[in-house]
Amino acid sequence: MEDLKLSRKEREYLRHRQEILQVALKLFSERGFHNVSMHEIAQKSEFAVGTLYKFFSKKEDLYLALILEKAREFRSALTAALQTPGDEMKKIRTWLEAKIRLFMDSLDFVRLYVAETRGGSFNIKAGLDKEIKKNYEMTLKEIEALFASGIKKKLFAKFDPHLLAVALEGISNAFLFEHLEHPDKHWLDANLILEIFFQQVYTGGAHG
């Protein structure tokens, strides 16, 4: 984002910090917070344990920084996607496409993020929990607003917009998880998800 005007020292500091975070992300995403030791992060990132503590004062802080920074990145990318011009349907499509792309590009983070948002956030203490949840709620609110205005225009059927947002999140996440488990089986496709969500599934036996 805003690089420049950083001294060489500062850039190096940030690069080192990033390297640590990257190694930690890989490890945490594979085995979770408690099954990864600082010693291992140190070894894999080719720093000494003590050095890690120059960057992060506690193991928990390292983890926290990891999740929060990525989560903010995700959120801003998704919010940006909503700024696309077009009607509500178009915006939702763009948003979903962005979401799929983001997830596919950082599957390891997704696992961790999911564990945090959905898994009762056992792994770490409060604080993280709070911001992550708020983050999620805000995304939900944005989608909700989109539905609300779409309903006003009679573009969408008249359901509670909040529930629609929850449902769309749910359905798209389900597909993403499915893909996480069986990457080869189905290709992730925004159109398919949107069709199932928006089209009529129950025909009641009408001639198909």
Q: Please choose which of DNA, a second copy, none residue 119 contacts, taking the beta carbon within 5 to 8 angstroms, the exact cut-off set by kind.
A: a second copy
**x/- contact string, 43-72, with DNA (CB under 7 A)?**
---xxxxxx-xx--xxxx------------
Tell the smallest beta-carbon distance from residue 14 to DNA (Å).
Answer: 11
Which of the 8 DSSP states describes residue 56?
-
Given 38, 82, 166, 188, the residue binding DNA (CB under 7 A): 38
Based on the shown chain and the rule CB under 7 A, indicate whether residue 177 belongs to the binding site for DNA. Answer: no
Place of tokens 């001639």: 207
Report the distance separating Cα 29 and Cα 68, nearest Å.
14
Question: Cβ distance 180 to 174 under 8 Å?
Answer: no
Based on the shown chain and the rule CB under 7 A, indicate whether residue 18 belongs to the binding site for DNA. Answer: no
Query: In whole angstroms, what separates CA 67 from the centre of its chain?
Result: 10
Tell the smallest beta-carbon distance from residue 32 to a second copy (Å).
Answer: 2
DSSP 95-125: HHHHHHHHHHHTHHHHHHHHHHHHSTT-SS-
Based on the shown chain and the rule CB under 7 A, indicate whether residue 197 belongs to the binding site for DNA. Answer: no
Given 6, 30, 39, 86, the residue binding DNA (CB under 7 A): 39
Closest CA to 163 of 153, 174, 155, 171: 171
Residue 56 or 175 with smaller CB distance to DNA: 56
Residue 15 or 72 with smaller CB distance to DNA: 15
